[in-house]
Amino acid sequence: MGRLNPLPYLALLAACAPMGVAPQPLPYPGGFALGGLVTGRFQGVLPGNPLFLDADGEALYAAYPYQLLVLKEGRLESLPLPGVPRFLRAGARPTVGLGAGVWTPEGLLPYPALDAFWSPEGLYWVDGEGLHRESALLQRGRFRQVVPWPGGATALGQEAFFSPEGRSIPLPHPVRKAQSGACGVVALMAGVYLVRPDGAKPLAPAEDFAAWEEQVYLTPGQRVVSCKEVVWP
């Protein structure tokens, strides 16, 4: 990844921000961003709310049209994207969905993913027809989210499929967003649920969330709850 001067891009993005619209808080794994002001595990200022916001243990990633901003150790890095992001996943190799392909720092991968993440085994991705690892189809299904799972991945849609166990469970509602957490998979359906191979249980009402270790950051209200509030048998 080459380091670019972010200032021209920041000015352009700020100029494109809608006027007179009150910004809504966005959760990320470890905190919140409101109108570009980042609080929590990371501290900084972004040029308004991004399309997508995510974080790993070292950096905060903010995806805008044609631009990915990386906040790390108090410095902001600007990386060009060849399109408008459809999704963002943080990690050692962050992934950005662009419709016909998936952007990584090493290049564009030709997979029409609805969601994807990079692992040592390769890129796991879903396209509404199945769960894939690179060019291999692992499981057919109408999956729209995919997150890391020990030894593999969990794909979610109207059901959850756990790989490599090969186990599927029905879900009470279609999944709109999912992240890995300390207590299992955290998923946004009609509220936030915890999902594991032995079932799905409600955690809290919310319209958006982000998971970091045991904490789940919720909006509206900028609330934080522990995933351990859910009791399993």
CATH assignment of the domain containing 191: 2.130.10.10
Span 157-173, average pLDDT: 97
Residue 103: what pLDDT?
97
Task: Tell me the pLDDT tens digit for each residue of 215-229.
Answer: 999 999 999 999 999
Alpha helix ranges (H) inside 122-180? none
pTM: predicted TM-score of the whole model, two decimal places: 0.89
**Domain with 138 in it:** 111-233
Q: Is 196 exposed, middle or buried (0-12, 13-18, 19+ CB in 10 A)?
A: middle
| Angle at alpha carbon of residue 48, lines to 45 and 49, rounded to 5° | 105
**Do the domain assignments include residue 37?**
no
d(CA 37, CA 35): 6
Q: What percent of the chain has pLDDT over 70?
A: 91
Give per-residue pLDDT as tens, 183-200.
999 999 999 999 999 999
**Structural domains in the chain (count):** 1
Q: What are phi and psi of 223, to 5 degrees?
A: -100, 155
Q: Which 8-state DSSP code applies to residue 68? A: E
Is the residue at 206 inside a domain? yes
Q: For residue 152, is it within any domain?
A: yes
User: Is the residue at 66 inside a domain?
Assistant: no
In a domain, 1, yes or no: no
State how beta strands 87-89 and 75-80 pair.
unpaired
Residue 74 falls inside a structural domain: no
- pLDDT higher than threshold 50 for residue 9: no
The predicted model gives 25-49 an average pLDDT of 95
Closest CA to 63 of 76, 50, 82: 50
